[in-house]
Amino acid sequence: MRVSNIISISAIGASGVLAQNVTGQLGDATVTTGNPAGKGAIATLPQQSFWTGSLNGNVQGYVSAKSGAGGVGVDYEVSFSNLPTEGGPFIYHIHVAPVPEDGNCTSTLAHLDQFIRGEDPACDATRPESCQQGDLSGKYGKIQSSDPFTAQFHDPYTSLVEGVGSYFGNRSFVFHFANKTRISCANFNVINTNSSTPYPSGTGSIVKASPTPTSSPNIPVSAGNVLNVLKNLAIAPVVAGFLALL
């Protein structure tokens, strides 16, 4: 009995150490820098929910983001209302794929997880760098019973720099029940936080129109006309002398 107790205590201690050392296959998330000043993104939930169960209308709300001070990380503001009366605490995450036109939240795939951390074990909010980058509620608080729910937080591990793995301007977020059932989802739209003008996404291409061909005028060909044209060319003096002999 004594030996088994020692083994049990050792196992508990080992599991505690392992839990503290959870990280991604590629290590902990790194702090993002170079986020452009004035650049932001916002995703607003649609009127109709994806989940077809009993709701008094869809959850209302948004996730808004802008570049952090000095270009380090991202500042978030979230707001949700008309929450379901049961099934909480509710959670929300940035997912890797955008919502398709048919609104299917399953098509958004998994959470943003550049460092291949996985969902289990659950995120340790005291070590946000060890969590999935997209697990916003895991790192900064689940949505309890307060309605409306609002929160502001700074996340150093997501980015508004297009082209890097932590970028989310072309991704989506999903709002879930506590059991991870997807209730609703929305795509991020990139914006300029200094004005109401959308921030250039950099994904478009400039199309240069070719000039419309025009027909050449019909000019009668004669020695005089040829001479007038050639006077505008560098070889005009030579040719003019030749034509004078004709």
Task: Write the pLDDT tens digit of every residue in 188-210.
Answer: 999 998 854 443 332 222 222 22
Nearest alpha-carbon partner for 58 in 48, 71, 68: 48
- Give the residue, 21 or 163, on which the prediction is more confident: 163
Count of Cβ atoms closer than 10 Å to residue 129 Cβ: 17
What distance in Å separates the CA atoms of residue 132 and residue 114, rounded to the nearest whole number? 8
Query: What pLDDT digit, counting tens, does each position of 52-61 carry?
Result: 988 999 999 9
- As a whole number, mean pLDDT of residues 16-37 equals 84
Query: What pLDDT digit, counting tens, does each position of 97-155 carry?
Result: 999 999 999 999 999 999 999 999 999 999 999 999 999 999 999 998 789 999 999 99
| pLDDT value, residue 146 | 84
Does residue 183 have a pLDDT over 60? yes
